Amino acid sequence: MGHQQIMDPRPNRLPSFIEVLDRKTKPPVDLFSFYIYMRDQQRSVDYLDFWLDVSQHTHLCRHFVSELRRSILVETPDLEKTTSKRSSYVLDHFGENNDASGPSTEPHNDEKLKDQTVSAYLRQDNNGSNHSPQSSLGSRRSASAMRYGERPPRPSFMSRNSPTGSESSSPGGRVVARADIRASAEKILYTYILPGAEREVTLPHGILQDITVAIEEEGRDDPEVFDMAKDYTFQAMERDAFPGFLRAKVFGNIVPPSRFLRLVLGLIAFFAGMWAAFVLIFLDKPKHIRCWLILPFTIGVYSLASHQYHMDPLLALAGLSEYTFCNFSRIEEPYVRKMMMRRATMVLFITVSIGVALICLFIFVPGHRL
């Protein structure tokens, strides 16, 4: 199912940021390529890691509530479930589709409601006795005490390609305990949020304060704790990093170290060709000897054009894109491949035109021995 969603074509447009995070795209505009871009070029991969970790935390919370609901449905008699006020409304109405939907441009209302329900249940569970799929499945909770949050969290990217449903297994293949959710929230807090944290991300002071108070003082660990921070980092990456990522991967297929290498190689080859051309002219060498100028001028012009246009046209025509230095992946995204082929043809035409002009000039110009 997830594979079919990834295969959905976008013949006439580039992918959106949500589609990249949702892993609906193919190389070179997939989530892995964006991660490498954030790490190697933007130097701000901590923001992406924070977003992914919060999404994983949301997935963990959904799985916990889903497992708890399944346990109650299995071990609680139908009569008691239908007549008892102590059965939780949240667990009875968590939804038959337990797949944690990933981000989409138009999230469904039931997905928003599901995330609100998870957070509401976890807040109630945190105020009462600890409850997990392994503990006291007959414990009963009041539905009237439950209330939905004011703001639904952004859906997680984890879902559509992850095992889901009541039979899905948690990370590590074990049942999720309540303590695991608390540990996950604290790990995010201590890794990204607190001042001086190992991978501290820059967030507005108000958001930092709200998260710190919610976790350390109120004891909360539901997904809505990180809502504002997750939205903020999403918008920051979409505004500041994603346009550059598209430019780098749609209009180019080489990384900065390769560009620099081509610049150095192109300058050396071009100036070597110019030096050899003038030497052969002023020594009045015959034209068949001057034909050797084809080699340095071709290498020089091709390398300089690759640097200038951020693209190796021959690699692009072969359907390859570089994601790290000297490591290549196939260009599989249909619209990106079409644009890349068009641009590669243009760059190759410019390269050949300049190279032919220079070679003809220095081969056929009359020689004059000094």
DSSP for 305-350, please give it.
Answer: HHHHHT--HHHHHTTEEEEETTEEEE---HHHHHHHHHHHHHHHHH
Highest mean pLDDT, choosing among 10-14, 40-44, 114-118:
40-44
333 compared with 69, residue with greater pLDDT: 333
Whether residue 256 is predicted with pLDDT greater than 90 in this model: the reply is: yes
What does the pLDDT look like over 215-245, one tens digit per residue? 999 899 888 999 999 999 999 999 999 999 9
Whether residue 2 is predicted with pLDDT greater than 50 in this model: the reply is: no
**Closest of 42, 9, 13 to residue 248, by C-alpha:** 42
Beta strand pairing call for 320-324 and 327-330? antiparallel
Q: Quick one: residue 196, left, alpha or beta (phi over 0 = left, psi -120 to 50 = alpha)?
A: left
Q: So what's the pLDDT on residue 12?
A: 83
Query: What is the pLDDT of the chain when averaged over all its residues?
Result: 79
178 compared with 340, residue with greater pLDDT: 340
**Closest of 221, 71, 63 to residue 133, by C-alpha:** 71
Mean pLDDT, rounded, for 129-148: 37
pTM (predicted TM-score): 0.75
Quick one: pLDDT band at residue 113, thresholds 50, 70, 90? low
Quick one: pLDDT band at residue 105, thresholds 50, 70, 90? very low
Note the helical H segments in the chain.
Answer: 2-6, 17-21, 31-37, 45-75, 78-83, 89-92, 109-127, 178-188, 205-212, 227-240, 242-250, 256-282, 287-290, 294-309, 313-317, 334-364
What does the pLDDT look like over 73-89, one tens digit per residue? 766 655 444 444 444 44
Mean pLDDT, rounded, for 178-194: 92
User: What distance in Å separates the CA atoms of residue 270 and residue 256, rounded to the nearest whole number?
Assistant: 21
Beta bridge partners of 125: none
**Closest of 96, 101, 95, 94 to residue 121, by C-alpha:** 94
Whether 178 and 130 have beta carbons less than 8 Å apart is answered as yes
Whether residue 345 is predicted with pLDDT greater than 50 in this model: the reply is: yes
User: What distance in Å separates the CA atoms of residue 366 and residue 131, rounded to the nearest whole number?
Assistant: 92
Phi, psi of 174 (to 5 degrees): -125, 165
**Closest of 322, 360, 336 to residue 250, by C-alpha:** 336
What does the pLDDT look like over 274-295, one tens digit per residue? 999 999 999 989 999 999 999 9
Burial class from Cβ neighbours inside 10 Å (0-12, 13-18, 19+) for residue 172 reads exposed
User: Residue 366 gets which letter from DSSP?
Assistant: P
Beta bridge partners of 330: 320
Q: How far apart, in Å, are the Cα atoms of 23 and each of 51, 110, 164?
A: 14, 21, 16
Mean pLDDT, rounded, for 312-329: 95
**If you search the block for the tokens 């049942």, which residue do you land on?**
175
Q: So what's the pLDDT on residue 211?
A: 94
Quick one: pLDDT band at residue 178, thresholds 50, 70, 90? confident
Which pair of structure tokens corresponds to residue 266? 């192109």
Q: So what's the pLDDT on residue 122?
A: 64
Q: So what's the pLDDT on residue 44?
A: 92
User: Residue 49 gets which letter from DSSP?
Assistant: H
Whether residue 300 is predicted with pLDDT greater than 60 in this model: the reply is: yes
Maximum pairwise Cα distance, the chain: 110
Angle in degrees, 0-180, between the axes of helices 242-250 and 334-364, rounded to the nearest 10: 50
User: What distance in Å separates the CA atoms of residue 305 and residue 298, rounded to the nearest whole number?
Assistant: 11
182 compared with 112, residue with greater pLDDT: 182
176 compared with 147, residue with greater pLDDT: 176
39 compared with 93, residue with greater pLDDT: 39
